[in-house]
């Protein structure tokens, strides 16, 4: 048992949960949450891939990739949420 194995499996499990949620959730906000879970799961795998046994320092390139991914994900989330707000407003207006 080493930390990379534990967190690698954690990452795969989180990604799988997010994938199921993104496919099966019908609520829009829940789908965004599910996709966020997927992105965190992918982050886990990359961070684990960068990990080395403690005396050695980890590989910085995957770390930079994950940071880039986090920033891109927050941009995508913001756009998705704006679309959800707009869509819900349009639906509410159509119902009136």
Partner 1 sequence: MTDPLILFDLLLGVSVVALAVAVMGARDLFAAIVLFVIFGLLSALAWARLSAPDVALAEAAIGTGVTGALLLKTLHHLRYVTGQLDQFAAPGMTPAEPVPMGVIAANAAFCGLITLGLAVAYLGAPQGGPGFDALVAEAMPQSGVEHPVTAVLLNFRAYDTLMEVVVLLAAVIAVWQIERGLSDAPSPDLGQVWQGFARLALPAIVVVGTYLLWKGSEAPGGAFQGGAVLAAVGLLLLLSRAYVPRPAHRGAARLLFVLGTGAFAAVALLVTGGGRVAFQYPPDQAKTLILLIEGLVTISIAVTLAALFHGREPVALPSRRDHHDT
Residue 13 Cβ vs partner 1, minimum distance, rounded to whole Å: 5
Give me the DSSP letters along 3-60.
Answer: HHHHHHHHHHHHHHHHHHHHHH--SHHHHHHHHHHHHHHHHHHHHHHH---TTSPPPH
Residue 32 Cβ vs partner 1, minimum distance, rounded to whole Å: 7
Q: Measured between alpha carbons, how far is 96 from 81 in angstroms, rounded to an integer?
A: 23
Counting contacts by CB under 8 A, is residue 35 touching partner 1?
Answer: no
Residues 41-70 that bind partner 1 (CB under 8 A): 43-45, 47-54, 56-68, 70
Counting contacts by CB under 8 A, is residue 26 touching partner 1?
Answer: yes
Residues 66-95 that bind partner 1 (CB under 8 A): 66-68, 70-79, 81-86, 88-89, 92
- # binding residues, partner 1 (CB under 8 A): 77
> Cα 30 vs. chain centroid, distance in angstroms?
13
Residue 87 Cβ vs partner 1, minimum distance, rounded to whole Å: 9
CA-based nearest residue to 89, from 28, 35, 32: 28
């Amino acid at each position: 048992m080493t930390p990379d194995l534990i967190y690698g499996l954690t990452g795969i499990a989180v990604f799988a949960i997010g994938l199921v949620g993104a496919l099966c959730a019908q609520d829009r906000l829940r789908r965004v949450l599910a996709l966020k879970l997927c992105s965190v799961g992918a982050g886990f795998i990359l961070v684990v891939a960068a990990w080395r046994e403690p005396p050695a320092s980890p590989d910085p390139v995957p770390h930079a990739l994950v940071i880039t991914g986090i920033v891109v994900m927050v941009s995508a989330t913001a756009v998705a949420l704006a679309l959800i707000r707009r869509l819900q407003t349009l639906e509410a207006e159509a119902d009136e």
